[in-house]
């Protein structure tokens, strides 16, 4: 997701959102014992861990993917907890961070790591150089945005998204080699200019970042683009034979792959003005329309056409 300052609008942040927790889907996976209550860790497969931050509205999920020679940490959360300590407790392999995009809730722990890969764009260069200030993150850790106690080691007043050093600038078609495991980089702009998916063909897994997740998907901010979103989902739909698992970056660790095609068709209908009913609202001063479907929603600018 991308943070919105519009915390009063149910169209973005539903009141008492945390009452839907815990999500039933997590009960299907073994929970890993660890000492930091800010995180919940689940073992999804023998070589993939989900690092879940259920205490904050975004319900961010980062993934630790193990190869024979290296591990990839797909995103680093929102910087509230110490994700480096969690990762160190799960693997002794050298770790490369691979960001699905550079919104603040995906790069919060980047500065803790020495090897970071990001898709190259003006957007991602800006985030790497500057991070995001507490003011730019708005009410992210205020009020009902957080329901669990914040970690005692967190300095709430100085919390921010820190700048970080990128050691590898990615482009569409690149490969991240982990040793008997390859992650293919697929550029999927729309939600952000630097959004990517990561495809593990051998294990038939697609990590979608914020291109797709089971909640309202934001395509309304100035840096979003509905036409690019549609083109990216066409690409992801064409790739369906190559994956069985869809692993998004929020809320749930596994989605049905047919939802990718459904989201593509929904976005096309919205663009064409044939999507049917929607809810009107405002987010960060932008007039938006929210289209609700069974397993996801799309929030677009009212003047999308």
183 within some domain = yes
| CA distance readout (Å), 19 to 39, 59, 72, 144, 238 | 18, 13, 32, 11, 37
- Residue 99: per-residue pLDDT: 99
- Residue 304: per-residue pLDDT: 61
4 within some domain = no
pLDDT-derived band at 45 (thresholds 50, 70, 90) equals very high
Contact partners, residue 161, CB within 8 Å, separation at least 6 = 78, 79, 104, 107, 108, 127, 131, 132, 133, 137
242-271 confidence digits (pLDDT tens): 999 999 999 999 999 999 999 999 999 999
Is pLDDT at 9 greater than 90 in this prediction? no
- Residue 305: per-residue pLDDT: 45
11 within some domain = no
- Residue 235: per-residue pLDDT: 98
What angle do the packed helices 226-238 and 258-272 form, to 10 degrees?
Answer: 150
302 within some domain = no
pLDDT-derived band at 1 (thresholds 50, 70, 90) equals low
3 within some domain = no
298 within some domain = no
pLDDT-derived band at 284 (thresholds 50, 70, 90) equals confident
117 versus 16: which is more confidently predicted? 117
217-243 confidence digits (pLDDT tens): 999 999 999 999 999 999 999 999 999
Torsion of CA 175, 195, 209, 261, to 10 degrees: -100
Per the structure, how many domains does the chain have?
A: 1
153-167 confidence digits (pLDDT tens): 999 999 999 999 999
Contact partners, residue 287, CB within 8 Å, separation at least 6 = 280, 281, 301, 302, 303
Which range marks the domain in which residue 90 is found? Answer: 17-276
Is pLDDT at 10 greater than 80 in this prediction? no
The enclosing domain of 163 has a CATH number of 3.60.15.10
12 within some domain = no
160 within some domain = yes
166-201 confidence digits (pLDDT tens): 999 999 999 999 999 999 999 999 999 999 999 999
């Amino acid at each position: 997701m991308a943070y919105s300052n519009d915390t009063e609008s149910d169209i973005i942040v539903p009141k008492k959102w945390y009452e839907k927790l815990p999500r039933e889907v997590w009960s299907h996976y073994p929970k890993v014992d660890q000492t930091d209550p800010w995180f919940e860790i689940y073992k999804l497969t023998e070589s993939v861990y989900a690092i879940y931050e259920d205490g904050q509205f975004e319900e961010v999920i980062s993934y630790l993917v193990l190869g024979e020679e290296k591990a990839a940490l797909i995103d680093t959360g929102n910087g509230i907890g110490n994700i480096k300590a969690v990762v160190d407790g799960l693997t002794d392999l050298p770790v490369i961070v691979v960001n699905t995009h550079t919104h603040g809730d995906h790069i919060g722990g980047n500065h803790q790591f020495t090897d970071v890969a990001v898709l190259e764009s003006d957007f991602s260069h800006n985030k790497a150089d500057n991070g995001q200030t507490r003011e730019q993150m708005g009410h992210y850790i205020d009020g009902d945005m957080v329901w669990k106690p914040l970690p005692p080691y967190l300095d709430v007043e100085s919390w921010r998204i820190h700048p970080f050093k990128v050691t590898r600038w990615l482009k569409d078609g690149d490969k991240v080699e982990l040793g008997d495991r390859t992650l293919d980089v697929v550029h999927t702009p729309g939600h952000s200019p630097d959004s990517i998916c990561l495809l593990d063909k051998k294990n038939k897994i697609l990590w979608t970042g914020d291109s797709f997740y089971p909640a309202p998907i934001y395509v309304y901010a100035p840096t979003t683009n509905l036409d690019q979103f549609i083109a990216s989902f066409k690409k992801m739909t064409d790739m369906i034979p190559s994956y069985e698992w869809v692993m998004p970056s929020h809320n749930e660790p596994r989605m049905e792959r047919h939802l990718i095609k459904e989201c593509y068709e929904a976005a096309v209908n919205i663009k064409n003005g044939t999507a049917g009913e929607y809810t009107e609202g405002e987010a960060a001063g932008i007039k938006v329309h929210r289209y609700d479907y069974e397993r996801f929603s799309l929030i677009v600018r009212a003047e999308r056409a």
